[in-house]
Amino acid sequence: MTDQATAQLRSVPGTDSDTTGTPGTPAAAATAPAAIDPRAALTALRAEIGKAVVGQDAAVTGLVVALLCGGHVLLEGVPGVAKTLLIRTLSTALSLETKRVQFTPDLMPGDVTGSLVYDARTAEFSFQPGPVFTNLLLADEINRTPPKTQAALLEAMEERQVTVDGEPRPLPVPFMVAATQNPVEYEGTYPLPEAQLDRFLLKLVLPLPDRDQEFQVLARHASGFDPRDLAAAGVRPVAGPEHLAAARAQVAELTVSPEVLAYIVDLCRATRQSSSLSIGVSPRGATALLAAARAWAWLAGRDYVTPDDVKALALPTLRHRVALRAEAEMEGVTADSVIQAVLAQTPAPR
């Protein structure tokens, strides 16, 4: 994620996380009351995650946006930037059930979705649910498993159900896939196909921490912080599924003017005409940008969407939905730079 995009994702009013607290500091409230305003509850989420994760504010905001939209997130970053810890802390602070699957070359589709198991006592087959039956599925290193197993997630991500032996089985609500991948190791990996990349609402790039943030990480560990014990770090539930459901209902009521809709269409169509891209943003990408901009506007406390909301979410929403031409890659062009150029060249309504 570029510095500009990171700054934009950090700029939601009232959502700065506290990354200077010490481990073990008790939460202001152990359990969030159901009557609390959903925006206030989700705003408090960032401060709660800050008790365990230093920095990564942009990624935290992106995850909240994805939850508000009912979308999925692809997290990209080198090993050791707290991708897994971020998801575990998010699920704890939101009172959501989470399961983790380490994707490996020998992982089978049934290992993810579940399968029919023969019961010798009853002489019948019974369905044993896989780890996908949860609220928050952490698909760790998703690009290390073959396409057959990657495809097992497609129905779950799009239809919110799993079909085994011809019978559809609904997944819990809410349901989100947070997949991680390593951008520097390509040996033994299987790049995600465009059809599956398009199912992710956002692609969030987790950068290495700056010097001050890395110092805070070490200071916390020197003080006894254990990333495997979030309770000791003071992480407590500050919101729950009921707050998320109420927030989604409010987001759906936000007003979007025809001018802003036309702006989103113009941006997406401009990517299809770019000489640097072989594949531009599809109509699904345009609807994803609309949904993300609405969630962003709601987090900012507004009941309407502005062009700045669209610009703020353009990079994480669109960067994985375009494909560079080979000659553009050889010249050092990136998907982010193409999208930034499109943003600069496309007139925004006033």
One domain for residues 93 and 143: yes
Q: Which of 205, 224, 249 is the last residue of a domain?
A: 249
Q: State CA 140 to chain mean position distance.
A: 13
Query: Cβ(69)–Cβ(295) under 8 Å?
Result: yes
One domain for residues 215 and 196: yes
Tell me whether residue 219 is in a domain: yes
Token code pair at residue 47: 């401060």
Q: How many domains does the chain have?
A: 2
Going through the chain in order, the beta strands assigned E by DSSP cover 73-76, 98-102, 114-119, 124-129, 136-140, 161-164, 167-170, 176-181, 202-205, 277-279, 323-324
Report the SS3 class of residue 195.
helix
Three state DSSP letters for 272-333: HCCCCEEECCCHHHHHHHHHHHHHHHHHCCCCECCHHHHHHHHHHHHCCCCEECHHHHHCCC
The domain of 41 spans: 3-249
DSSP 8-state class, residue 185 = -
What pLDDT, on the 0 to 100 scale, is given for residue 30?
A: 40
Tell me whether residue 350 is in a domain: no
One domain for residues 203 and 329: no
Query: Can you give the pLDDT of all 350 residues of the chain as single tens digits?
Result: 444 444 455 555 444 433 333 333 333 334 444 457 888 888 888 888 988 898 888 898 999 999 999 999 999 988 888 888 999 999 999 989 999 999 999 999 999 999 888 888 888 888 889 999 999 999 999 989 888 888 888 889 989 999 888 889 999 999 999 999 887 766 778 888 888 899 999 999 998 989 999 999 999 999 988 888 888 888 899 988 999 999 999 999 999 999 999 999 999 999 999 999 999 999 999 999 999 999 999 999 999 999 999 999 999 999 999 999 999 999 999 999 999 999 999 999 98
Token code pair at residue 278: 């072989």
Q: Which of 234, 249, 264 is the last residue of a domain?
A: 249
What pLDDT, on the 0 to 100 scale, is given for residue 193?
A: 83
C-alpha 76/C-alpha 319 separation (Å) is: 12
What pLDDT, on the 0 to 100 scale, is given for residue 78?
A: 87
Q: Dihedral through CA 83, CA 131, CA 158, CA 195, nearest 10?
A: 60
One domain for residues 225 and 263: no
Q: Which of 249, 266, 282 is the last residue of a domain?
A: 249
What angle, rounded to 10 degrees, do the helices at 57-69 and 38-49 form?
A: 150
For residue 174, is the peptide bond before it cis, meaning its omega torsion is within 30 degrees of 0? yes
Query: Cβ(235)–Cβ(227) under 8 Å?
Result: no
Q: What is the CATH number of the domain that holds 336?
A: 1.10.8.80
Tell me whether residue 187 is in a domain: yes
One domain for residues 217 and 308: no
Query: Cβ(171)–Cβ(210) under 8 Å?
Result: no
One domain for residues 140 and 187: yes
Q: What is the CATH number of the domain that holds 232?
A: 3.40.50.300
Tell me whether residue 310 is in a domain: yes
Can you give the pTM of this predicted structure?
0.85
- Measured CA angle at 137 (ends 85, 238), to 5 deg: 60
- Which residues, in sequence order, are bridge partners of residue 167? 164
